[in-house]
């Protein structure tokens, strides 16, 4: 990680852009709850004008066990789909009282739906929401780095899209639940860490786009670069506690807070591969865990940097010849290497290769996928090299 720390010091010698700085700047109240009573203490008083959105039996049980909400309106969502957003909004409109607060409990599905509901629901304007903590999230697993971003990843018109939504004004992180999940090697927790690790390639991709004059880099962008670098430092330096995982995810989330850059610092070609794989999984009626797919994408992208290193510009953020090796070493140290390669055994090599063939066309964003013109045989060779 020396490379990352060196890079951070180069761009931010006075260490200005810290997580505390971001929390203050964006007005996010982050609570690191060590026990259940601290979660309850930081939730608003139970009331009929509170809407609680959960997804699945585990977050719902978590809410029930808290015993905090007796009067609030509880609703469980099944899919990260605009139809679910519309259904929740309709049921909210039918309530006898106008909602004043929305709270999302769960993983990506519950929080993405809650973010969009918070944007569309008539609970007042965004500024008021932020002052009154009208929109709170309680991520029960920390499965991806979008937990506090002002975007929601939702299926819409048959495709998964990144839609503008509301960012929460408060996040309560139940560290004791995250600890338990991590010890059980629960895949949603591993997914979050993998999503952060994928920043290794997204940063390299961003830098490639700048070096190729495809994107402009301004002094202002350094702030978001630093958050992405910090997220990697939190996750990889020293022991990985649930608190450091939380800080890594928050920091990575802040790297995507600039509306102009959107998700750029934390989403390069590895996320295009994740999307292509996710579609391939959906066709098999299977679900790909986001961070797992993104980090699998990182293995592929890092391998491409290694293979294509002779034609790449000098002084990219990371040495293209060693980026793959660095990523694999980190994954092995964290016992995540086999986990990241699981998508191959899940749907088989042929379907993975077909997905890789479609990845360069997923979106316009510039990266190494735009510089290669691989045949099926080439992709097959790349896949063999990483498994």
Nearer to Zn ion by Cβ, of 193 and 312: the residue is 193
Nearer to Zn ion by Cβ, of 80 and 294: the residue is 294
CA quadruple 292, 281, 181, 201: dihedral, nearest 10:
10
Nearer to Zn ion by Cβ, of 167 and 294: the residue is 294
What's the closest the beta carbon of residue 95 comes to Zn ion, in angstroms? 34
For residue 96 the two structure tokens come to: 């006898």
What's the closest the beta carbon of residue 263 comes to Zn ion, in angstroms? 8
| Cβ 154 vs Cβ 85: under 8 Å | yes
Nearer to Zn ion by Cβ, of 97 and 287: the residue is 287
What's the closest the beta carbon of residue 271 comes to Zn ion, in angstroms? 6
DSSP codes, 219-237: GGGHHHHHHHHHHHHHHHS
Per CB under 5 A, the list member of 76, 112, 195, 230 interacting with Zn ion is 195
Q: How far apart, in whole angstroms, are the C-alpha atoms of residue 379 and residue 385?
A: 10
* Stretch 211-230: interaction string toward Zn ion, x if CB under 5 A: --------------------
Nearer to Zn ion by Cβ, of 43 and 280: the residue is 280
Indicate the SS3 state at residue 70. Answer: coil
Nearer to Zn ion by Cβ, of 50 and 246: the residue is 246
Which H or E element spans position 154? Answer: strand 151-156
DSSP codes, 101-149: EEEEEESHHHHHHHHHHHHHSSS--HHHHHHTT-EEEEESS--STTTT-
| 163 beta partners | 152
Read off the DSSP letter of residue 216.
-
Residue 274 backbone phi and psi in degrees, to 5? -55, -45
Q: Does 294 bind Zn ion (CB under 5 A)?
A: yes
Residue nearest to Zn ion (CB): 195
Nearer to Zn ion by Cβ, of 266 and 356: the residue is 266
What's the closest the beta carbon of residue 251 comes to Zn ion, in angstroms? 14
Choose one: 203-211, 294-302, 311-319, 337-345; the region binding Zn ion (CB under 5 A): 294-302
- Sole residue written with tokens 């390299």: 204
Number of residues that bind Zn ion (CB under 5 A): 2
Helix axes 376-386, 290-307, angle to 10 degrees: 110
Q: Does 84 bind Zn ion (CB under 5 A)?
A: no
What's the closest the beta carbon of residue 275 comes to Zn ion, in angstroms? 10
For residue 316 the two structure tokens come to: 């990219």
Choose one: 183-191, 289-297, 318-326, 379-387; the region binding Zn ion (CB under 5 A): 289-297
Read off the DSSP letter of residue 73.
E
Nearer to Zn ion by Cβ, of 291 and 360: the residue is 291
Nearer to Zn ion by Cβ, of 84 and 195: the residue is 195
Q: Which residues contact 164 (CB under 8 A, 6 or more apart)?
A: 119, 150, 151, 152
For residue 193 the two structure tokens come to: 């860490």
Q: Does 272 bind Zn ion (CB under 5 A)?
A: no
What's the closest the beta carbon of residue 2 comes to Zn ion, in angstroms? 25
Query: CA-based angle 16:197:18, to the nearest 5?
Result: 10
Choose one: 95-103, 185-193, 216-224, 291-299; the region binding Zn ion (CB under 5 A): 291-299
Nearer to Zn ion by Cβ, of 195 and 272: the residue is 195
Q: Binders of Zn ion among 100-159, rule CB under 5 A?
A: none
Indicate the SS3 state at residue 56. Answer: coil
What's the closest the beta carbon of residue 252 comes to Zn ion, in angstroms? 8
What's the closest the beta carbon of residue 293 comes to Zn ion, in angstroms? 9
* Stretch 240-269: interaction string toward Zn ion, x if CB under 5 A: ------------------------------
For residue 26 the two structure tokens come to: 């964006």
Closest CA to 22 of 265, 189, 217, 366: 265
Q: How far apart, in whole angstroms, are the C-alpha atoms of residue 344 and residue 346?
A: 5
What's the closest the beta carbon of residue 297 comes to Zn ion, in angstroms? 9
What's the closest the beta carbon of residue 238 comes to Zn ion, in angstroms? 24
Residues lying near Zn ion in the complex (CB under 5 A) are found at 195, 294
């Amino acid at each position: 990680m020396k490379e990352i720390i060196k890079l951070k010091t180069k761009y931010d010698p006075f260490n200005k852009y810290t997580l505390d700085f971001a929390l203050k700047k964006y007005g996010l109240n982050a609570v690191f709850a060590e026990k259940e009573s601290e979660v309850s203490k930081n939730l608003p008083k139970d009331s009929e004008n509170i809407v609680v959105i959960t997804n699945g039996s585990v977050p719902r049980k978590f809410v029930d066990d808290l015993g905090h909400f007796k009067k609030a309106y509880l609703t469980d969502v099944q899919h990260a789909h605009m139809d679910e957003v519309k259904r929740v909004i309709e049921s909210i409109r039918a309530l006898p009282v106008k909602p004043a607060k929305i709270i999302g409990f769960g993983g990506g599905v519950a929080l993405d739906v809650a973010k969009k509901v918070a944007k569309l629901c008539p609970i007042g304007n965004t500024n008021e929401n932020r002052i009154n903590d009208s929109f709170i999230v309680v991520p029960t697993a920390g499965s991806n780095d979008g937990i506090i971003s002002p975007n929601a990843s939702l299926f819409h018109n048959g495709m998964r899209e990144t839609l503008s939504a509301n960012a929460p004004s408060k996040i309560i992180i139940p560290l004791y639940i995250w600890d338990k999940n991590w010890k059980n090697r629960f895949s949603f927790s591993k997914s979050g860490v993998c999503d952060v690790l994928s920043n290794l390639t997204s940063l390299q991709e961003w830098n490639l786009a700048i070096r190729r004059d495809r994107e402009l880099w301004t002094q202002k962008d350094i702030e978001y670069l630093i958050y992405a670098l910090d997220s990697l430092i939190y996750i990889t330096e020293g022991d990985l506690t649930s608190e450091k995982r939380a800080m890594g995810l928050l920091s990575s989330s802040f790297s995507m807070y600039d509306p102009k850059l959107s998700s750029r610092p934390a989403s390069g070609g590895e996320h295009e591969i994740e999307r292509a794989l996710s579609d391939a999984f959906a066709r098999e009626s299977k679900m790909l865990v986001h961070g797992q797919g993104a980090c699998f994408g990182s293995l592929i992208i890092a391998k491409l940097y290694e293979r294509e290193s002779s034609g790449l510009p000098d002084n990219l953020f990371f040495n293209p010849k060693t980026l793959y090796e660095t990523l694999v070493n980190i994954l092995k140290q964290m016992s995540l290497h086999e986990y990241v390669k699981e998508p191959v055994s899940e749907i088989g090599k042929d379907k993975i290769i077909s997905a890789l063939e479609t990845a360069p066309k997923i979106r316009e964003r510039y990266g190494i996928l735009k510089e290669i013109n691989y045949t099926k045989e080439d992709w097959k060779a790349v896949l063999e090299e990483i498994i």
